Chains A and B, each alone.
Chain A
């Protein structure tokens, strides 16, 4: 059956795509919805389906984000901020400089770089995911790379002295 073949071949990549970009509790829903859309639209799936599938996953994640914005806002914006800043402390230790530079880029730049760097797509495939002509995407990718380098170079500039750290009362705070 064609669907099962496609599922087995592309499930790991679609799941990794979602896992990299969405809160862990949302990943299974995004992947499941993505493959349901594949099921419904098997006739539309191109011969090399991964970019198509990631485009679907991207839209499903976007829809989820809209819904979850409502929920996040109910409780705290900070929760949404966490999605961006997850594992900040670990990354500061190992790759803080690169992660910081990447996070300072625009969402467009970051998306271009990570589709290629994390998801292993060629520029033409990544262009298909975001619905952009390949030549324009290549320019976007190139500029994003330059901006990442510029951010990293800026990190080497002398930093302003940080204010003395206060140790807040870390215990006894009501929860």
Chain B
């Protein structure tokens, strides 16, 4: 019988050499000791343990791959639909129909561009508020090129682009494009870069090996209002955040993130609305909307990785840890 060799020692050594745990900064940040972590967890262990149903055998389902995933994710979502706490109770069949219709309506045709403008008011725990606006264009075709304009308190702060998976930044103050280092690729979840795609994904529920994922319930309120207009409210992650969508076409209208974190690390509630949320097709879906050259033809192109991280640190102070001496400008 032919066997597949395991990793050879050379490859293994290479991978180990870039283990983040070997990094001095990570080693310094050792986190809680085992005993301290156990003491911190102890109060949560006082209640009765929930008995959970044993997961069903999943071998057969694995074999059915696509069909099983499609059916399974819908079934999971439906199984977790509960009456909304604030709205009228929703019969399971009605909620199921809404979820299925919403998922179908939110599938984007290829070759289009989703344009959305979200205006978000963030209210921190101490009552202070701030407003930010993100104007975004996203291709519906892989690799889902995206351009975002970040506006804070009415001023354009910066633009970010993800072209072929590479997240570049643009500084309007200096008309400079900071090119992302070659090895910085946008993570896969950036495919969920539009609100409609995100809602669709959340409605898909979760597929968890061995049933070992944390619980996520979806609640539906078909009689909600958003900005004084009729809306369907979907609430996810045990009430952590909600989306309100149009009852006619399921277009996103509003969201509320009850565990939001601001760029400076404050926790609070973010309430966002979508003055623009539309699908551009045909000639309106011009790739110029996503083209760096077309939008900023005279910009200075800066290829320095350290300048890139330095700029990111300026505009998103909490996003980037200290980069150490290696990035000091020589």
Q: Chain A interface (Cβ within 8 Å of chain B)?
A: 3-4, 7-8, 11-12, 15-16, 19-20, 24, 27-28, 31-33, 35-37, 39-42, 44, 52, 55-56, 59-60, 62-63, 65-67, 69-71, 73-93, 95-96, 98-100, 102-104, 107, 113-114, 116-118, 123, 130-131, 135, 138-139, 141-142, 145, 148-149, 152, 162-163, 165-170, 173-175
Which interface class (under 10, 10 to 19, 20 to 34, 35 or more) fits B?
35 or more
Which of B87-95, B105-113, B200-208, B287-295 lies at the interface with chain A?
B200-208
Which of B49-57, B70-78, B227-235 lies at the interface with chain A?
B49-57
What A residues does B132 contact at CB under 8 A? Answer: 74-75
Q: How far is the CA of A98 from the CA of B209 in the complex (A)?
A: 31
Q: Chain B interface (Cβ within 8 Å of chain A)?
A: 3-8, 11-12, 14-21, 23, 25-26, 29, 31-32, 34, 37-38, 40-41, 44-45, 49-50, 52, 54, 118, 120, 132, 134, 146, 148, 150, 158, 160, 162, 167, 169, 171, 173-174, 176, 178, 180-190, 192-193, 198, 201-202, 206, 208-210, 212-214, 216, 237, 240-241, 255, 257, 259-263, 270, 272, 300-307, 309-312, 314-321, 323-324, 326-327, 329
- Contact, CB under 8 Å: A117 / B54: no
- Contact, CB under 8 Å: A142 / B5: yes
Of B167, B190, B311, B316, the residue contacting A75 (CB under 8 A) is B316
Q: Is the interface of B mostly helix, strand, loop or mixed?
A: mixed
Q: How far is the CA of A152 from the CA of B58 in the complex (A)?
A: 38
Which single residue of chain A is at the shortest CB-CB distance from B34?
A: A11
- Contact, CB under 8 Å: B180 / A81: yes
Q: How far is the CA of A12 from the CA of B32 in the complex (A)?
A: 10
Q: How far is the CA of A80 from the CA of B237 in the complex (A)?
A: 20
Query: Given A63-B213, A81-B184, A138-B4, are A118 and B176 also a contact pair (CB < 8 Å)?
Result: no
Query: Given A19-B26, A36-B41, A84-B186, are A117 and B19 also a contact pair (CB < 8 Å)?
Result: yes
What B residues does A169 contact at CB under 8 A? Answer: 174, 176
- Contact, CB under 8 Å: A20 / B171: no
What B residues does A75 contact at CB under 8 A? Answer: 132, 150, 262-263, 316
Min C-beta distance of A29 to chain B, whole Å: 11
Min C-beta distance of A151 to chain B, whole Å: 10
- Contact, CB under 8 Å: A7 / B34: yes
- Contact, CB under 8 Å: A92 / B326: yes
Query: Given A36-B44, A92-B326, are A100 and B182 also a contact pair (CB < 8 Å)?
Result: yes
- Contact, CB under 8 Å: B23 / A16: no
- Contact, CB under 8 Å: A168 / B307: yes
- Contact, CB under 8 Å: A69 / B189: yes
What A residues does B3 contact at CB under 8 A? Answer: 138
Of B19, B49, B261, B262, the residue contacting A20 (CB under 8 A) is B19
Q: How far is the CA of A55 from the CA of B16 in the complex (A)?
A: 21
Of A4, A83, A142, the residue contacting B7 (CB under 8 A) is A142
- Contact, CB under 8 Å: B257 / A77: no
Of A71, A89, A99, A116, the residue contacting B18 (CB under 8 A) is A99
